[in-house]
Amino acid sequence: MTLFKKVIRSMLEHKARYIGSMLLLTISSMMFVMTNNTSMNLERTFTAFSEQNVLSDAEFSVDTDIDIATVSEKFAVKVELGGTADCEVNPGQTLRVFSMMNTVNIPAVQEGSLPGASEIMLDRLFAETNGYEIGDTITVANKDFTVSGYSLLPNFIYVVKSKEVMMNDPNTFGVGVVGKADFNTLPDRNQVYALRFNERENIKSQETAVKNELRSQGIRITSWQSTDKKINVSYVPMEVSVLSAVSAAVPLVMLSLTCVLLGMLMWRMIKGESVLIGTFYAQGYRRKDLRRHYLMFPLLVSVIGTAIGSILGIFLTDVMFNFMVTAFPMPVHETIYNNWLIVFAFLLPIIVLCGVTWVIIGRIIKMPPAILMKGGETKNKTNFIERNLRLDRLKFNRKFQIREQVRSLSRSFFLLFGVVVATMLILYGFTMKSSVDYLLNEGIKELYDFNYEYVFTEQKTGTPPAGTEQFGAAYMSLVDNDDISFYVTGVLPDTERIRLKDISGKTLKPEQNTITVPLAQKLHMGVGDRMTVFDTENGEKHTFIIERVADTYAGEFMFMPLDRFNAEFGLPLDAYIGIWSDEPMTFSQGEIHSTKSIDAIVAGFGSLIDQMGPMIYGLIFAAFIVGLIIIYIVTGLVVDESRASISLMKVFGYRKKEINQLILGSNTIIVVLGYLLGIPALLGTVGAFYQSLTESLQLIMPVKLNVWYMLLGLVVVMITYEFAKLMCRKKVARIPMSEALKAGAE
């Protein structure tokens, strides 16, 4: 009991150190529990929704009706005919209406009921934003529909109009579901078949078999979209991947910080109490009693920190999961918690921290009691760094500050490590914003010199409309890995619509086979390499030699001269599939397969950048707290270990400002060095993270960090450092001049 009271007394005496350690553990365990449980619930909800509502594996359109029964029986696949129609409800407001499905892509009812005759289900966010309640009337395509309920679609979970838009705006876009009879009355409707294979292995090869069968019957496939490439669905597993990566990385870094911090604290405390330990020996305390006593420090810190963090993590799981299902609407039955995960989050820090402390205690208590009572083994040798320093020409202040760092390498390492982590947290959001800015400004805006892209449903020949430029395109997949797909685009050799440049910034004309940097990175290929691909439309194989690599991140493309493209794909020399235009154009119904607006893409990225604001500020605040804890604890250690020196300085007449500069300012070099090391560490980590999300995002993000953001991050780190120094000035002021006399007497 006496020893336990000493534990409490010691912790209260140096409460900032132990509270800081508890906070780091609280953050790590909270993040671990929250992100793991959220990703588990999100994945579970998505899987259940996909299976119960029969999410399709692909959606396609053809130029004639197909025999559903024959295809279903031959390929063991569920097939159903549905469709979509984009209808203008109000000026500038589009409602994408889906046909009611009963076999594949079955809508779920969030509230209300399935639509009957002249009834429609809306997505909840669109309905609530625009004031539509169940029972209200909405006019769609000049026909009045009664809102029967709120719908959830398994093939349209992430509600965005297109992948160019990126962020949903319920004021301008929403989703509705009507019965098949009502759908057939809508103008400009597109009939779409949805299929789901009964055998859940080798989906790609099964898709290819179905496409080849349809083509063998003389049926032309006008569009084919695999669900795993559809952003309205693929963003959900991507978010699960992000949460899984965060749940693994952040808690481990925090736990590492806490282990180093507590290990350093315990080592210094036990060494400082060597005389006391020797006295305990003399009083009859055994080694196991002393070991148990010092293990109470990490045990209390880890139990309190992880308990609070786990409870917060459980509470925040509901908050974060509800936010996720708001962004990705899906039916939710209940939120579940992995009890073993919570137990693991609770026990791991206890085991690791107590294990580290066990090793440290063992090294001290092996000494004979007589040596401990004399203050332990004294080592007056300077370390190898201090021995090799040449400080004779420096002023006393600078020499003092440098020696403060090299004489306590463990303390300097911990501060360095902490500042690196804080730097990575601060600059992570800025790096994402810089990357998106670069992709937008140096990628999309730099590459495309047109406003609209129109792709026709079938090949055209002859002269394109005035003021436009024609191009050819084919969607290809690698023979060795059909998960890697990209567009081969045929362009006029002297085109001004596509602006390419090499790594040095020199302009490239697409007179040869030229691939973009993202495609080169995904293929792991360069100039002179040969790749064999197959056309996803007809399965024909083609082999291309890469002749140039263009430095653009606007997408994964291979550009080649249009005449070479047409010859390679067996098309007439003047054939083209699409046109580029500076002005909007109108075409007859069924003539256009897809339309791309560069302004819409730019606006989508702009919306994404705006959405980053809260995340960036949140990361800066979190980094400020973590950095403040680390710098304050280490600076406090410097003060505690320099009490005699500070007291002596006061005796010699040093002013407060000079003492603060010598003692508290000695860490400035380490803080700046930690920040500089944090930048390449961050860029490497973000690069690996972007690479892991390449397939889900269907693009490769460049890793960029604006110089101004680097300077802003440095300002935040230095403000944190100055704030920590300010908090420690009171400790320096409280040290009396008599401390030097006590040290001399001892």
pLDDT of residue 175: 92
In this predicted structure, the answer to whether residue 442 has a pLDDT above a threshold of 70 is no
Nearest CA to 84 out of 68, 51, 67, 60 is that of: 60
Give helix 643-651 / helix 738-745 axis angle, nearest 10°.
Answer: 120
In this predicted structure, the answer to whether residue 446 has a pLDDT above a threshold of 90 is no
Residues 6+ apart with CB under 8 A from 652: none
Beta strands 557-561 and 514-516 are: antiparallel
Highest mean pLDDT among 30-34, 260-264, 404-408, 735-739: 30-34
pLDDT of residue 745: 45
- pLDDT category at 443 given cuts 50, 70, 90 is low
Give the least confident one: 275-289, 331-345, 497-511, 512-526: 275-289
Q: Please give the residue that has the higher pLDDT: either 726 or 441.
A: 726
In this predicted structure, the answer to whether residue 258 has a pLDDT above a threshold of 90 is no
Give me the mean pLDDT over the 304-329 stretch: 87
pTM above the 0.75 mark? no
pLDDT of residue 154: 92
pLDDT of residue 25: 84
pLDDT of residue 607: 66
Share of residues in the chain with pLDDT > 70 (%): 87
Cβ–Cβ < 8 Å for 665, 725: yes
Task: Give residue 169's region: left, alpha or beta (phi > 0; psi -120 to 50).
Answer: beta
pLDDT of residue 377: 56
Polymer length in residues for the chain:
746
Give me the mean pLDDT over the 676-701 stretch: 72
- pLDDT category at 721 given cuts 50, 70, 90 is confident
In this predicted structure, the answer to whether residue 376 has a pLDDT above a threshold of 50 is yes
Beta strands 576-581 and 530-535 are: unpaired
Instruction: State how far the Cα of 238 lies from the Cα of 163, in Å rounded to an integer.
Output: 14
pLDDT tens track for 412-438: 777 787 788 778 877 877 887 787 777
Looking at every residue in the chain, the average pLDDT score rounds to 80
Instruction: State how far the Cα of 237 lies from the Cα of 158, in Å rounded to an integer.
Output: 11
pLDDT of residue 616: 65
| Residue 593 vs residues 17, 155, 456, 557: alpha-carbon distances, Å | 64, 20, 5, 19
In this predicted structure, the answer to whether residue 711 has a pLDDT above a threshold of 60 is yes
pLDDT of residue 378: 52
Give me the mean pLDDT over the 610-622 stretch: 67
State both tokens at 613: 């604001």
In this predicted structure, the answer to whether residue 114 has a pLDDT above a threshold of 80 is yes
State both tokens at 512: 């040869």
Give me the mean pLDDT over the 83-100 stretch: 87
pLDDT of residue 692: 62
pLDDT tens track for 543-598: 999 998 888 777 788 999 999 999 998 899 889 998 989 888 888 766 777 787 77
In this predicted structure, the answer to whether residue 104 has a pLDDT above a threshold of 90 is yes
Name the burial class of residue 527, with classes exposed (0-12), middle (13-18) and buried (19+) by CB atoms within 10 angstroms of its CB: middle
Instruction: State how far the Cα of 16 lies from the Cα of 22, in Å rounded to an integer.
Output: 10
Q: Please give the residue that has the higher pLDDT: either 416 or 504.
A: 416
Give me the mean pLDDT over the 292-306 stretch: 85
- pLDDT category at 40 given cuts 50, 70, 90 is confident
In this predicted structure, the answer to whether residue 631 has a pLDDT above a threshold of 50 is yes
